[in-house]
Chains A and B, each alone.
Chain A
Amino acid sequence: MAKELWKGNEAIAEAAIKAGCRYFFGYPITPQNEIPEYMSLRLPQEGGVFLQAESEVAAINMVYGGAGSGARVMTSSSSPGISLKAEGISYIAGAELPCVIVNIVRGGPGLGGIQPAQSDYYQATKGGGHGDYRLIVIAPSSVQEAVDLTQEAFDMADQYRIPVMIMGDGMIGQMMEPVEFRPVAKRTLPEKTWATVGTAGKREPNIINSLFIDPQECENHNIKLFKKYDEITANETRVENYNVEGAEIVFVAYGTTARIVRNAINKLAEEGIKAGMIRPITLWPFPTEAIEAAANQASVKAFISVEMSMGQMIDDVKIASNGKKPVHFYGRTGGMIPTPAAIVEHAKKVLGGAK
């Protein structure tokens, strides 16, 4: 297929439809409104259902129900709306249901603002909802990647029976880029024998639930979940290394910020400074090994975590580098976007101090 020009949000919506998503439940919020708007037009054409719920809480519980029946279901929101969905997300994770949740992150806390941010990193990767659970969190850095990974997200969700979050900042959702819709690698997916689709009188009813009266049973369930999370960590961690070999300074950045850092790296190269980047594509599972490897690399003097937040991913970078190399931070927040020039300056300052 030839390339077309797509806005990030609508591209994510179309990718979901191409992946077989036929049910969307949501509630509007900027800067992700093009997703529900697009779904409201396209899903009826595909014989699917678009439903604008009365609230985010209702929407995520509709996703819970749809996912329980084994359908491919999606919801989308932006930061404050994801906070409202947090309880439902925990339930879905607890009940081991596959679904895709899109968060097009805006400035926070509270209502914040509508400009792009990455300050929901903790919320996405460390919880948000209650209990010991994980989401697979995918952070595309281009509209093409958003399209490819959204399609794959549905397969991942089905393979592991886990909610998958696509986390893009507002820029990923709002910008226009050339895109090609292409098939993703086929996975062998397990049959959904657990789905509540009627017994036809031939088996015991399936029950979708996250309540455990017996604490031992609840602990067993947690242990089972964490075996699955280990498997996901082993199989699904995604990362891109850019110019890390021989680099003196290694940036860690994802999403829009990674695009800006790439530009900064090229500017640094023009000045004879060797810089590289580790770009987590999955924020959970976090690419700990790639950072550990860079920390063990003799050329590397320091890391700089660059984020559109006050510094959240930096914790994971520090854990991964395990004190072997200093970890610095540069960020803008509240909807402000770092400039390549500011990142270059910060790198020089760090290198000056690191010598």
Chain B
Amino acid sequence: MFDERRIRIITGHYGSGKTEFAVNYTFGLAAAGFKTAIVDLDIVNPYFRSRQIEPLFEEKGIRVISSSIKGLSGDIPALSPEINTVFHDKSYQAVLDVGGDKVGATALGRYHESLDREPYDMLFVLNANRSFTQDLDGAINYIREIEHGSRQKVTALVNNTHLCGETTIDEIMKGQVLCEKVSDALGLPIKYVVAHKSLVPKLPQNLKGEVFPIDIYMKKPWE
């Protein structure tokens, strides 16, 4: 776990749970003792962005880099020059949380020169319960659009199939079947199978991909 290249890019359909995975991943990296930074590149979603829980990151010594315009209500696609830090300062282990569609991915494309210089890992978070990524064609199309927008290539898949609090093992396995199809079609490995901590013991053994237990941090106001 966490053995990806220094620059990790997290992409996926908005609403796939991409940010929740990115947040958990970042916390895991920091807990493993790495000097960690999270870059919130989401210029598409106005709510539920990783910057929303900035104090939680700071508590754990994680550097948060987001918009150059501070404040939750920022509706301005302003990328901070500070983002370049993670490309230049190689002492950081970096997680880039990218907006969830081809438009959101365009923000990442701006850094293609830096990314050309250093190999990265780009994880595509797949949720088989999202309308546009429910079948093989839809998922491949979405991956291609994000690759096109970001000018980068996905290097691995993450099965994050869920229904918020109503997730069952069957749901996760449904997503696993789709991930395996995408994996075969595109020659991409399934790197992680995400499940809430409470569901992990019930998951079958020998899944393709490592089981990645998560907690929920991106909460709704009544949760």
A residues touching B (Cβ–Cβ < 8 Å)?
Answer: 3-7, 10, 14, 30-31, 107, 113-116, 170-171, 174-178, 256, 259-260, 262-263, 335, 337-340
Interface mask (B47-64 → A, CB under 8 Å = 1, otherwise 0)? 110000000000000000
Q: Nearest 6 A-B pairs (CB), nearest first?
A: A174-B47, A113-B73, A178-B163, A5-B129, A259-B222, A263-B222
Chain B hits for A5, CB < 8 A: 15, 127, 129-130, 162-164
A174 adjacent to B46 (CB under 8 Å): yes
Within B59-83, the residues touching A (CB, 8 Å) are 72-73, 75
- The distance from the CB of B199 to the nearest CB of chain A, in whole angstroms, is 15
Closest A residue to B20 by beta carbon equals A176
The CA-CA distance from A175 to B162 in the complex, in Å, is 14
Contact of B73 (CB < 8 Å), options: A6, A7, A115, A339? A115
B residues touching A (Cβ–Cβ < 8 Å)?
Answer: 14-15, 45-48, 72-73, 75, 127, 129-131, 134, 162-164, 166, 220-222
Chain A hits for B72, CB < 8 A: 115, 335
Closest A residue to B221 by beta carbon equals A337
Chain B hits for A107, CB < 8 A: 73
Other A-B pairs beyond A114-B73, A256-B221, 14, CB < 8 Å: A5-B162, A5-B163, A7-B14, A10-B131, A31-B47, A115-B73, A170-B47, A171-B47, A171-B220, A174-B45, A178-B166, A260-B222, A262-B222, A338-B221
Chain B hits for A340, CB < 8 A: 222
B73 adjacent to A176 (CB under 8 Å): no
- The distance from the CB of A177 to the nearest CB of chain B, in whole angstroms, is 6
The CA-CA distance from A330 to B143 in the complex, in Å, is 46
Main secondary structure of the interface of A (DSSP, over half): mixed
- The distance from the CB of B136 to the nearest CB of chain A, in whole angstroms, is 17
The CA-CA distance from A3 to B134 in the complex, in Å, is 12
Contact of A3 (CB < 8 Å), options: B15, B47, B75, B129? B129
Chain A hits for B134, CB < 8 A: 4
Main secondary structure of the interface of B (DSSP, over half): loop
B130 adjacent to A4 (CB under 8 Å): yes
The CA-CA distance from A113 to B164 in the complex, in Å, is 28
Chain A hits for B164, CB < 8 A: 5, 176-178
The CA-CA distance from A171 to B164 in the complex, in Å, is 16
Contact of B15 (CB < 8 Å), options: A31, A171, A176? A176
Chain A hits for B130, CB < 8 A: 4-5
The CA-CA distance from A260 to B166 in the complex, in Å, is 19
Contact of B221 (CB < 8 Å), options: A10, A14, A177, A259? A259
The CA-CA distance from A262 to B127 in the complex, in Å, is 29
The CA-CA distance from A198 to B3 in the complex, in Å, is 68
B15 adjacent to A7 (CB under 8 Å): yes
B73 adjacent to A171 (CB under 8 Å): no
Chain B hits for A170, CB < 8 A: 46-47
The CA-CA distance from A5 to B127 in the complex, in Å, is 9
Show 21 A/B contacts (Cβ-Cβ < 8 Å), sorted by A: A3-B163, A3-B166, A4-B129, A5-B15, A5-B127, A5-B163, A30-B46, A114-B46, A114-B75, A115-B72, A171-B220, A174-B48, A175-B47, A176-B15, A176-B48, A176-B164, A256-B221, A256-B222, A259-B220, A259-B221, A263-B222
Chain B hits for A178, CB < 8 A: 129, 163-164, 166
Closest B residue to A259 by beta carbon equals B222
Chain A hits for B166, CB < 8 A: 3, 178
- The distance from the CB of B12 to the nearest CB of chain A, in whole angstroms, is 12
- The distance from the CB of A101 to the nearest CB of chain B, in whole angstroms, is 21
Closest A residue to B174 by beta carbon equals A2
The CA-CA distance from A339 to B73 in the complex, in Å, is 19
Contact of B131 (CB < 8 Å), options: A4, A259, A262, A337? A4
- The distance from the CB of A160 to the nearest CB of chain B, in whole angstroms, is 32
Closest A residue to B129 by beta carbon equals A5
Contact of A30 (CB < 8 Å), options: B48, B75, B162, B220? B75
- The distance from the CB of B38 to the nearest CB of chain A, in whole angstroms, is 21
Closest A residue to B220 by beta carbon equals A175
The CA-CA distance from A170 to B72 in the complex, in Å, is 13
The CA-CA distance from A5 to B14 in the complex, in Å, is 11
The CA-CA distance from A339 to B166 in the complex, in Å, is 23
B14 adjacent to A31 (CB under 8 Å): no
The CA-CA distance from A116 to B222 in the complex, in Å, is 14
The CA-CA distance from A114 to B69 in the complex, in Å, is 14
Chain A hits for B75, CB < 8 A: 30, 114
A175 adjacent to B48 (CB under 8 Å): yes
The CA-CA distance from A6 to B221 in the complex, in Å, is 18
Contact of A339 (CB < 8 Å), options: B129, B131, B221? B221
Chain B hits for A260, CB < 8 A: 221-222
Chain B hits for A14, CB < 8 A: 131
Chain B hits for A31, CB < 8 A: 46-47
The CA-CA distance from A337 to B48 in the complex, in Å, is 14
The CA-CA distance from A256 to B220 in the complex, in Å, is 10
- The distance from the CB of A222 to the nearest CB of chain B, in whole angstroms, is 40
Q: For B47, B72, B129, B166, which residue has the most chain A Cβ atoms within 10 angstroms?
A: B47
Closest A residue to B44 by beta carbon equals A33
Closest A residue to B167 by beta carbon equals A178
The CA-CA distance from A6 to B129 in the complex, in Å, is 8
The CA-CA distance from A89 to B117 in the complex, in Å, is 56
